[in-house]
Chains A and B, each alone.
Chain A
């Protein structure tokens, strides 16, 4: 009897093992192609792109040679690289501020019972899926010095037209305005998802306790959104530091280089000077900054959770 039990257990165990193998195989068959795709078309370029930061590689037909930290030393000694990094920080911070706050306000509004919510949500999100190359051209037409609507409007009310392109203040304003126009919809959707995941019982309890709308926002809504806040901050910061299209298409780093940002500099190093080494180093610096910010934010989240 004992032996029979052992055999039966063995058969069951064998079946379980066989099932586990089958599942394993199925899992690999499902994941394998995408892993292969990722390794070939994303993993390799990422590793390669970061690796070339440690090489001296200038010119299309030249071969890279190991340069150690030379490119990084140059990066941190060059006022132009540091200037573009600072520009990305402060322009990105402005964009992030507007995306996060206005996005939250929009989500809060859309989370209340109102008519046409879906339509408003779609309209708000629409800019996020438009092509920057097309929408920036529309923006440029708006601020065209000769026939732009912005200057015509000023003249209509008796004001002098503004040379937008000659003013750092105005160029930063337009870059932030454009980036926020595109980014607020994305942030809003994230906030909305967070708001909708809050258990209504919390609000009911707050109502019973006689909490005001403001108190519910401070003591119920915001604490419940901590995980979404972390996500919005990390993705917002990542996007903000990598601000590129508005600079390339709207300001072209002008006026006089005052809106040049780090990703645009990397782009110019790579495609302008064919200086792949410096472009790689610049890209790696951006990656490290984002990595450190993400870790710090996650740590903050974990501490708050505890």
Chain B
């Protein structure tokens, strides 16, 4: 047994010293290279040179269609500009792609547990929660002041906690109404007219459904039992004076605003292919749009380019508002960048975030036309008055928030409860008030745990 232990000890020692020797053999370290968790739209894996080489290889492969080739060329330009902007600030970096949604959150959770990982994290609905739970560093005063002075409020508002900024979306999304102009034409409607109110929109939607006679429908918005649903239903709740939490931050599902919003959404939901509105997966909903089976959808800015790529003649406007209500929105697809408390290179990390706001980098978002830039200067520029930027900035200057993090220890459970009851309220014939009351009761129960 002693010999066995000795063998194990020797093996462990060899392994340990082996690794140590490996480290000793590594080339001498140059300037600090921070690791940046990036998302798929404007990021990549590896150093800027490696990301560009990968994209170039895709281009050279010659297997991309025109849209893919244009996107790849844009990505090369974007990474080049970002590398230069970071370099000007003395920051070397490499990208880390951890995917998105559940997979990303799991990896970030592991990074927090291990207290090591990328110096910058990116994410959507989980990031405001990370900020509130103290996992992120507040922006240094100079950067925070610069952000407040130069950036549209909707880009950082959801990441503000107690007056501090903990993250920023440098190409954020907010919900906008998109429509398939061809289907409006087939229904005898003006394809360029945006509905201003809920009543007007519902009327148009019903006309399209009637004209479609089962072939196509008016549509509305996806309302599935997940964040994809609540991110798109949320603005309607807020516009009607409802929402997820009250002024004290307590669960507040059973309110009149939500009742009004869900009643409206239920009417809208009758104008979509069976099962598409609240399917567990969003896929069915977007398939319906892509196949020309629904006219209206609510989505983030990428839908414009995605629709055009499929040859859909697409119109867009800010969301219609309810009679007596006011405009409000929820960020969607907003990739918030923040610096985790465990980061070893916080100073460089914040300089990198500043580079993301550099005009040369922001200009590339204008060029791509998929996501709005966040610098206020664009909405003040007359050249952009009629562009999609104006539409999105109009919203980003308004009442924009992220989805909240609920009090207590059961945020995910409360979200599960909300999502399930939201879908039930919208796609069944049940009593909406009773469904909301059930959600409220469970939400309060879990909030108290």
Task: Identify the A interface with B (CB < 8 A).
Answer: 25, 28-29, 32, 36, 58-61, 74, 80, 140-141, 144-148, 151, 160-166, 250-257, 260, 268-269, 271-275
Q: Closest 7 interchain pairs by CB?
A: A272-B412, A145-B275, A163-B275, A60-B112, A252-B280, A146-B288, A257-B420
> Are B281 and A256 in contact (CB-based, < 8 A)?
no
Contacts of A251 in B (CB 8 A): 280
Complex: A256 Cα to B419 Cα, angstroms: 8
> Are B421 and A252 in contact (CB-based, < 8 A)?
no
Contacts of B415 in A (CB 8 A): 272
> Are A256 and B275 in contact (CB-based, < 8 A)?
no
Q: Which of B112-163 contact A (CB under 8 A)?
A: 112-113, 133-135
> Are A146 and B284 in contact (CB-based, < 8 A)?
yes
> Are B416 and A255 in contact (CB-based, < 8 A)?
no
Query: Would you call B47 an interface residue if the criterion is a C-beta within 8 Å of the partner chain's C-beta atoms?
Result: no
Answer whether A252 and B410 are a contact pair too, CB < 8 Å, given A257-B416, A274-B109.
no
Known: A60-B135, A61-B135, A255-B423. 18 other contacts (CB 8 A): A25-B3, A28-B1, A59-B409, A140-B281, A140-B283, A145-B275, A146-B273, A146-B276, A165-B280, A255-B278, A256-B420, A260-B416, A268-B412, A269-B413, A271-B102, A271-B105, A272-B415, A273-B409
CB closest residue in chain B, given A264? B416
Flag B359-375 by CB within 8 Å of A: 1 or 0 each: 00000000000000000
Flag B324-346 by CB within 8 Å of A: 1 or 0 each: 00000000000000000100000
Complex: A163 Cα to B413 Cα, angstroms: 26
Point out the residue from A151, A160, A271 that lies within 8 Å of B109, measured CB to CB. A271
Residue of B285, B413, B442 with highest tally of chain A CB at under 10 A: B413
CB distance from B16 to the nearest CB of A (A): 14
> Are A252 and B275 in contact (CB-based, < 8 A)?
no
Contacts of A252 in B (CB 8 A): 225-226, 280-281
Contacts of A255 in B (CB 8 A): 225, 278, 420, 423-424
> Are A273 and B412 in contact (CB-based, < 8 A)?
yes
7 interchain pairs, CB-CB under 8 A: A61-B112, A141-B283, A166-B278, A255-B420, A255-B424, A256-B424, A272-B411
Contacts of B287 in A (CB 8 A): 144, 146-147
Query: Would you call B67 an interface residue if the criterion is a C-beta within 8 Å of the partner chain's C-beta atoms?
Result: no
Complex: A161 Cα to B97 Cα, angstroms: 40
Query: Would you call B449 an interface residue if the criterion is a C-beta within 8 Å of the partner chain's C-beta atoms?
Result: yes
CB closest residue in chain B, given A164? B275
CB distance from A174 to the nearest CB of B (A): 10
Complex: A108 Cα to B409 Cα, angstroms: 52
Answer whether A36 and B275 are a contact pair too, CB < 8 Å, given A25-B3, A60-B112, A273-B412.
no
CB distance from A279 to the nearest CB of B (A): 11
Answer whether A256 and B416 are a contact pair too, CB < 8 Å, given A61-B112, A271-B109.
no
Contacts of B428 in A (CB 8 A): 166
Query: Would you call B65 an interface residue if the criterion is a C-beta within 8 Å of the partner chain's C-beta atoms?
Result: no
Q: Which of B231-255 contact A (CB under 8 A)?
A: none
CB closest residue in chain A, given B421? A256
Point out the residue from B105, B284, B410, B423 that lies within 8 Å of A144, measured CB to CB. B284
CB distance from B440 to the nearest CB of A (A): 15
> Are B3 and A32 in contact (CB-based, < 8 A)?
no
Complex: A11 Cα to B286 Cα, angstroms: 84
> Are A256 and B106 in contact (CB-based, < 8 A)?
no
Contacts of B424 in A (CB 8 A): 255-256
Point out the residue from A29, A74, A144 that lies within 8 Å of B7, measured CB to CB. A29
> Are B274 and A60 in contact (CB-based, < 8 A)?
no
Answer whether A161 and B280 are a contact pair too, CB < 8 Å, given A61-B112, A256-B423, A273-B412.
no
Complex: A162 Cα to B280 Cα, angstroms: 15
CB closest residue in chain A, given B289? A146
Contacts of A254 in B (CB 8 A): 225, 280, 420, 423
